[in-house]
Amino acid sequence: MAGQEHRGVRGPCRLDAVQAVFDSLLDTAMGLHEEPAGKEGVRRGVQELYSKIGVGSLSGIIQEKLMRLVSAIEARDIPAAHQAREQIVRSSTNGWVEGGTWQWALKSLVEAAKQHAPTTEGSAQLLVSSQDQSAESCNPEVLQLKNSLTMRLAHARTCMDTKKHNEVEQRLNRLYEMLQTGIIGPDTIARLLETVQAADQGDSATVQRCFLEVAKTDFESSKAWLPALKQLFRQQ
């Protein structure tokens, strides 16, 4: 969908990191097609993707899904890679993928990954680890927020049934992933830290105001984790 791509969006995608993974698979991906048009379509689609990443024309949500795809390919987790690719297609098209587009080329790259063993032991963790280090070591606010929420979840365990606790934990993990990959911006992080501080002081009005502001200013990403925060702070 055209509305999912925006000029100049900054997000977790680093062109060099994506190229490092996809370039190693490109020849194999092209070789999966017998017709020259198919081979050229893969090459053209990959170049189109690199161009979009370079100019920042992919939305933050699509960038996040793309990084999930890259990580899955590095881990040779083919089912997860196919799932990530399908999510990208649903988020960036109307369901029809034209040959030669970057969404189409991703399928060939995933298929090519089946034929390539990981280059080194532990390489599957490389991209995620680098994101974790860059986000957390360089951003103490992110680490502070994660620690505060993790402690609250541990304290809330006695107040929740197992099903509800697991659901909240899964949504918080989604929040942590978005924090690590840079999907969530500094304004939202600051608002969430304000929420934690207000809750510590028993200021429920400020907590609710912060939730409303987050929902308004970070609507797309907050849908995945804001319900968990509301549930978590309700238990305090």
Same domain, 112 and 148: no
State the residue range of the domain holding 224: 139-234
Q: SS3 helix, strand, coil % of the chain, rounded to 5?
A: 75, 0, 25
Global pTM value: 0.51
How many other C-beta atoms can be found within 10 angstroms of the C-beta atom of residue 154?
10
186-200 and 140-156 helices, crossing angle to 10°: 40
Q: What is the CATH number of the domain that holds 208?
A: 1.20.940.10
Residues 146 and 106 placed together within one structural domain of the fold = no
Confirm whether 41 is domain-assigned.
Answer: yes
Is 127 a domain residue? no
* Residue 131 domain flag: no
Q: What is the CATH number of the domain that holds 109?
A: 1.20.940
Q: How many structural domains is the chain composed of? A: 2
Structure confidence by residue, pLDDT tens digits, 162-212? 888 888 888 898 888 888 777 788 888 899 999 999 988 889 999 999 999
Overall average pLDDT of the 75-100 stretch: 85
